[in-house]
Amino acid sequence: MAKQPIDIEIMGRAFSVTCTDEERDVIVQAVGYLDGKMREIRDAGKMVSVERIAIMAALNITHELLNTRSDGVDVGDVKKRITTMQQQMDEVLSSQHKLL
């Protein structure tokens, strides 16, 4: 998996990040989410410094992430496992369908 640079923009500032083709869509979604959070904080008028806005956005996003965990269970991990099980079931069912 070759990594390629992509250009992104967060609060009007341009950055270049490298990622694989498989990661590209998720990176673009993450950039959009982060940009939105930072703009919300800025637009609330409580902070002016981009550094402080970024730290507050990071804290808010971390809080959201930790709230998705319940009793030590990571919801993201559960979603990955469910997706894997769905793929395995689809494979088994498609081979069963061929037998009929």
Q: What is the pLDDT of residues 4-13, one digit of tens each?
A: 999 999 999 9
CA distance 55 to 5: 25
- Tell me the C-alpha distance between 56 and 45, whole Å: 13
Percent of the chain scoring above 90 in pLDDT: 52
Fold classification of 1-67 (topology level): Double Stranded RNA Binding Domain (3.30.160)
Ranking 3-7, 13-17, 93-97 by mean pLDDT, the lowest is 93-97
Cα–Cα distance measured from residue 35 to residue 85, given in angstroms and rounded to the nearest whole number: 33
Domains of the chain, by residue range, sit at 1-67, 72-100
Quick: pLDDT tens for 31-58: 999 999 999 999 998 777 899 999 999 9
Looking at residue 49, the DSSP 8-state letter turns out to be: -
Instruction: Summarize the chain as % helix, strand, coil (round to 5).
Output: 65, 20, 15
- The model's pTM is 0.66
| 46 DSSP assignment | S
